[in-house]
Amino acid sequence: MNQENTTSDFDYLEDDDSYTKAQYLIGLEEIRKDIANKNPDDLDAQASYGDVLIFNKKFQEAIDFFYPLYQKNYEEGFGIGHIIDSLKGLGKTEKDFNWIIPPKIYHLDNVTLDLCTKILHSQKKVVTISALYDEIFLYQSDYITFNEQEFSKFILQNNDSFILIGDRSNPLEMEIKAKL
């Protein structure tokens, strides 16, 4: 007897897989909440619980959770990224939050271009786009709204202020310097 299975014969597996994932996330949230409650001074435990709240799209709950932690630890920048991600999830921006000290948040805009130009003018040596990204954004920001690939594409599209040297198929490794 030759029996062929069709895709619809296995549709229940997809529903079962979705249910399993949902149950896992609910369980993970409870576990991380318990760990955070047992370790209130452990910021990693607090961040892990907040991560799962955001992943589960409980954005307002995440903001409410992080706000007192942010107030207590704002000098270290704790909670800034979580709060911004939650605000974005609610369709809001960083301007919709009452920051103690406004965080350094970078967008792909003219402010970023001007900063890159300023940094490059102050340097004696040529650097890669990747190194520029690391120097400015990874070490001097509280939150970046773009990743390294988006930054390199932005630089390539706005290269009136820069001299770019190298292979455009690998923009992160291209050397960059400011035009005089």
* Res 23 pLDDT > 60: no
How is domain 106-178 classified at the CATH fold level? Arc Repressor Mutant, subunit A (1.10.10)
Measure the CA–CA gap between 73 and 14, rounded to whole angstroms: 43
Tell me, what amino acid is at 89? G
pTM of the model: 0.75
Lowest mean pLDDT across 27-31, 67-71, 112-116, 122-126? 122-126
Kindly state the average pLDDT of the residues 108-131.
90
Kindly state the average pLDDT of the residues 88-100.
96
Relative to beta strand 143-144, strand 175-178 is unpaired
Q: Do 101 and 78 meet the contact criterion of CB atoms below 8 Å apart?
A: no
Kindly state the average pLDDT of the residues 160-180.
87
Lowest mean pLDDT across 23-27, 55-59, 142-146, 169-173? 23-27
Q: Do 172 and 155 meet the contact criterion of CB atoms below 8 Å apart?
A: no
Measure the CA–CA gap between 73 and 163, rounded to whole angstroms: 41
Token readout for 107 is 């967008």
Question: Percent of the chain beyond pLDDT 90?
Answer: 63
Report pLDDT for 1: 42
Report pLDDT for 138: 83
* Res 49 pLDDT > 90: yes
DSSP code for 1: -
Report pLDDT for 84: 97
